């Protein structure tokens, strides 16, 4: 591996077909990582992989719905079969269908819990045995500013993202014997498809206006990932909270 501590690493990324996941995949491949990309939109992933390979990168696409434990296991198994190891897992897949609790959007609540929380747990379950055996690895979980602050209409989303931070801290403490690093990254408003997951038209309009006025590009997140990964193995960057300079919330 080169001095960047990224070159040659095998990196599994969920939610890789757009937004934070796509930006991170492109950023890390350019630094020599071998990426295994999971998302539901396999056509998007395959197009990314073809482009990466054409530019000399190593990449694999695996259709993955993170709310299905078996599919997450298959994503990780594919990485092991192809590359013999897994150095980094980025639990990035997420949904943000905001709504006031009184509207009782219970299906949206369930989807957020299934993807934002259980999806992260399934990722951890799939990679931990491999990282324990290797006595190395790095798990990066994606929270949010909403994992630090709650806002009206975002109660359930904030609950899932607070849970990701709690889970990440417990994981951090438990994996010390195996030299595994853990990072939780909490982005503010970053330009992705996430606001488009809102199912209530009035809420969606408000979110779009906020993001249009505030959001910064997804590369901002990719640079945070690269920063955490590139530190020497004896340094564990546990938490990064970042926002657009102009974001107050």
Q: What's the pLDDT tens digit per position in 85-106?
A: 999 999 999 999 999 999 999 9
Q: Is the pLDDT of residue 244 over 50?
A: yes
Over range 198-217, report the average pLDDT: 93
Q: Which CATH superfamily is domain 10-240 in?
A: NAD(P)-binding Rossmann-like Domain (3.40.50.720)
Question: What's the whole-number mean pLDDT along residues 164-171?
Answer: 98
pLDDT at 242: 98
Q: Are 229 and 136 in contact (CB under 8 A)?
A: no
**pLDDT value at 178 more than 70:** yes
Domain extents in the chain: 10-240
Letter string b/e over residues 115-127, b meaning 16 or more CB atoms within 10 A of that residue's CB: bbbbbbbbbbebb
Label the pairing between strands 10-14 and 239-242. Answer: unpaired
pLDDT over 70 (residue 2): no
Q: Which residue among 122, 157, 211, 249 is the active-site one?
A: 157
More confident residue, 194 or 222: 222
DSSP per position, 217-228: -THHHHHHHHHH
**DSSP-derived 3-state class of residue 249:** coil
Task: Report in angstroms the alpha-carbon separations of 49 from 53, 61, 81, 202.
Answer: 6, 7, 17, 37
Q: Which residues contact 97 (CB under 8 A, 6 or more apart)?
A: 105, 108, 111, 112, 157, 197, 198, 199, 200
The two tokens of residue 95 are 């949904």
Whether 147 has a pLDDT exceeding 90, the answer reads yes
Q: State the Cα–Cα distance between residues 110 and 115, nearest whole angstrom.
A: 9
- The SS3 call for residue 243 is coil
The whole-number pLDDT of residue 33 equals 98
For the cut 90, the answer to whether the pLDDT of residue 15 exceeds it is: yes
The model carries a pTM of 0.97
The pLDDT of residue 157 is 97
Per-residue confidence at 1, pLDDT binned at 50, 70, 90?
very low
pLDDT of 75: 98
157 noted as active-site residue? yes
Tell me the pairing of strands 137-142 and 180-187.
Answer: parallel
Helical spans, DSSP H, in the chain: 19-30, 42-54, 69-83, 106-112, 119-134, 155-174, 201-214, 219-230
């Amino acid at each position: 591996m080169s001095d960047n501590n990224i070159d040659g690493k095998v990196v599994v990324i969920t939610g890789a077909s757009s937004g934070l996941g796509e930006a991170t995949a492109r950023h890390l491949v350019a630094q020599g990582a071998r990426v295994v990309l999971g998302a539901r939109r396999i056509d998007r992933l395959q197009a990314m992989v073809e482009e990466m390979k054409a530019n000399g990168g190593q990449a694999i696409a695996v259709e993955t719905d993170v709310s299905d434990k078996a599919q997450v296991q298959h994503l990780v198994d594919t990485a092991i079969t192809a590359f013999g190891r897994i150095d980094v897992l980025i639990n990035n897949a997420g949904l943000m269908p905001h709504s006031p609790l009184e509207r009782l959007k219970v299906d949206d609540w369930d989807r957020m819990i299934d993807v934002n929380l259980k999806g992260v747990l399934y990722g951890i379950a799939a990679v931990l045995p491999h990282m324990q055996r290797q006595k190395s690895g790095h798990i990066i979980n994606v929270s949010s500013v909403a994992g630090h602050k709650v806002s009206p209409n975002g109660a359930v989303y904030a609950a899932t993202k607070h849970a990701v931070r709690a889970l990440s801290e417990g994981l951090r403490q438990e994996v010390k014997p195996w030299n595994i690093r853990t990072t939780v990254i909490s982005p503010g408003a970053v330009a992705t498809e996430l606001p488009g997951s809102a199912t209530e038209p009035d809420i969606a309009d408000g979110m779009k206006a906020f993001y249009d006025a505030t959001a910064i590009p997804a590369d901002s997140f990719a640079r945070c990932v690269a920063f955490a990964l590139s530190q020497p193995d004896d340094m564990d960057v546990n938490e990064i909270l970042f926002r657009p300079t102009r974001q107050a919330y």
